[in-house]
Structure 1
Amino acid sequence: MTYQFTIVVPVYNEEENLLRVEKELLAYTKIATKATKILFVNDGSKDKSQSIIETICNRNDMFSFIKFKENRGLSAAIKAGFDYTETELVGYIDSDLQTAPEDFNLLLKHIGENDLVTGVRANRKDSFVKNMSSKIANGIRRSFTHDGMDDTGCPLKVIKTDFAKRIPMFKGLHRFLPAMILLQNGKIKQVPVQHFPRVAGEAKFGVWNRLIGPLMDCFAYLWMKKKYINYQVSKQG
């Protein structure tokens, strides 16, 4: 089969969720509007995640994985997923499945005329503290980037792979993917998607890295924006 779309699934200590991830993503591949494969990126998990991932991949041809030697963080996992993607489109979803894989079809409807389409979590099912800290962090980030996005933390995105591979990653950059596409003179769009409470495992981000981390990352983004190199080749011989 010729695949058109790769879904990157970062994994860090998610043994309780992975069989559900397999079930949900396998079901999605049967209704996907693009021929879809799944790439697990094991970010140095210390539980049984790797053995479960290998079992899943051995019994499903459309599933594959890469494994880090040690934990490097969500941005590194996403970057590695982009680097190892060979299809024309790449997306990503968190392994906690607080967003629905079938909503990828909503994003794929708009990717033709855009270079990144991101979900916006409607009716978020998180705690009050988590919702408020994310809202504040999004406001801070938006004031720095002027990207017009309401929810860059939404773990449901589709990107044209050639744009994704040109994103220069640093820690925390997963919060700035729309802004990084704008730096490439690309087009971005946000689409409302479903959101669900976490049913297993533990959240990897707390109030500290939802507020202080994004603020520090904003200054890193401004530095990089000033130094960013963007070019287009008009002719080659």
Structure 2
Amino acid sequence: MPQPSLSILIPAKDEAGNLPQLLDEIAAALSQENYAQADYEILVVDDGSTDATWTLLCQRAAQDARLRPLRHARSAGQSTSLWQAAWAARGTWLATLDGDGQNDPADLPRLYDKARQEGITLVNGHRVQRRDTWFTRFSSRVANRVRSALLKDDTPDTGCGLKVIRRDAFLALPYFDHMHRFIPALVMAQGGKCVSVPVNHRSRGTGKSHYGLNNRLWVGLVDIVGVMWLRRRTRLPSPLENHAAIPAEKGVSSTHNKESLNK
């Protein structure tokens, strides 16, 4: 299979009922003329599923060379799944989607094109109309407000699973558990450009969410403190002046200045 330009990363735990439709929808979304069949790959990480997720992925991969299943024998979490998939990916760009089918693959080409054409490090989806239970919406709203107030990351929906990001930028981020919730803030701390765009959000097909108020807010508060510390420690260096703009001191040639800057 030729080198893909886009790698789609999908963490999945007990999603055998949702993955077939999701994979079909990804293929349909990327079947446009602008996307050659071999121009993308899909890495699905089975994160310790107890259902038929792994069997399903292996069967699909036998018929589709673009699908590359990965597996954790025991659940390692969403951040670890994305991190390991990113290292295994071969594309210049990464796209992430949740495995429950609530992210709409039809939005993927729009985010991907915007990132490439406008030179944006991260394009983050914004679920304007959530299709979740009232409790999930409430817990997410509380977590987003707390995070936004403390990190000021200018991202209305950092928890949206639909993102497009340069692979090199993602791999340059510090890895820690739950880091996937803070990707915009971490990218901005590295000097990257982030934008949010509205995306469609759908009701979950089968199964149930693995997230609630406890792991959205209380665990997240500890992580926010860590991210704040990381951002204070991550200071971009001031740009060096070009040697031609620096007057040469008496007895010091411009050639010497140039060599000093290159050391």
Please tell me the TM-score bracket, short chain as reference. Answer: over 0.9
Question: What is the alpha-carbon root mean square deviation over aligned residues?
Answer: 2.1
Pair 1:187–1:33, CA change in 2 (3 A): farther
Tell me, yes or no, if the aligned pair for 1:115 and 1:159 is still in contact at 8 Å.
Answer: yes
* TM-aligned CA deviation for residue 91 of structure 1: 0.9
Tell me, yes or no, if the aligned pair for 2:3 and 2:90 is still in contact at 8 Å.
Answer: no
Where in structure 2 are there 5+ consecutive unaligned residues?
241-260
Q: Max radius of gyration: which structure? A: 2
Match of 2:105 among 90, 101, 105: 101
Tell me, yes or no, if the aligned pair for 1:33 and 1:105 is still in contact at 8 Å.
Answer: no
* TM-aligned CA deviation for residue 109 of structure 1: 2.7
1:73 and 2:77 matched: yes
Single out whichever of 6-15 and 106-115 deviates more from structure 2.
106-115
Residue 182 of structure 2 is matched in structure 1 by 176
Residue 61 of structure 1 is matched in structure 2 by 65
1:196 and 2:219 matched: no
Tell me, yes or no, if the aligned pair for 2:123 and 2:165 is still in contact at 8 Å.
Answer: yes
Q: In 2, Cα distance between the equivalents of 1:32 and 1:129?
A: 41
Which amino acid in the other structure matches residue 5 of structure 2?
Answer: Q
TM-score, normalised with respect to structure 2: 0.84
* TM-aligned CA deviation for residue 25 of structure 1: 1.8
1:83 and 2:87 matched: yes
Tell me, yes or no, if the aligned pair for 1:9 and 1:95 is still in contact at 8 Å.
Answer: yes
Match of 2:162 among 156, 164, 176: 156
Which amino acid in the other structure matches residue 107 of structure 1?
Answer: L
* TM-aligned CA deviation for residue 132 of structure 1: 1.5
Tell me, yes or no, if the aligned pair for 1:32 and 1:105 is still in contact at 8 Å.
Answer: no
The count of residues paired between Structure 1 and Structure 2 equals 237
* TM-aligned CA deviation for residue 2 of structure 1: 3.6
Pair 1:83–1:231, CA change in 2 (3 A): farther
* TM-aligned CA deviation for residue 67 of structure 1: 1.1
* TM-aligned CA deviation for residue 195 of structure 1: 0.6
Q: In 2, Cα distance between the equivalents of 1:66 and 1:233?
A: 41
* TM-aligned CA deviation for residue 27 of structure 1: 1.6
1:223 and 2:224 matched: no
TM-score, normalised with respect to structure 1: 0.93
1:7 and 2:8 matched: yes
Pair 1:56–1:103, CA change in 2 (3 A): same
Which amino acid in the other structure matches residue 193 of structure 1?
Answer: V
Which amino acid in the other structure matches residue 184 of structure 2?
Answer: P
Pair 1:190–1:197, CA change in 2 (3 A): same
* TM-aligned CA deviation for residue 204 of structure 1: 0.7
Q: In 2, Cα distance between the equivalents of 1:232 and 1:80?
A: 33
Residue 254 of structure 2 is matched in structure 1 by none
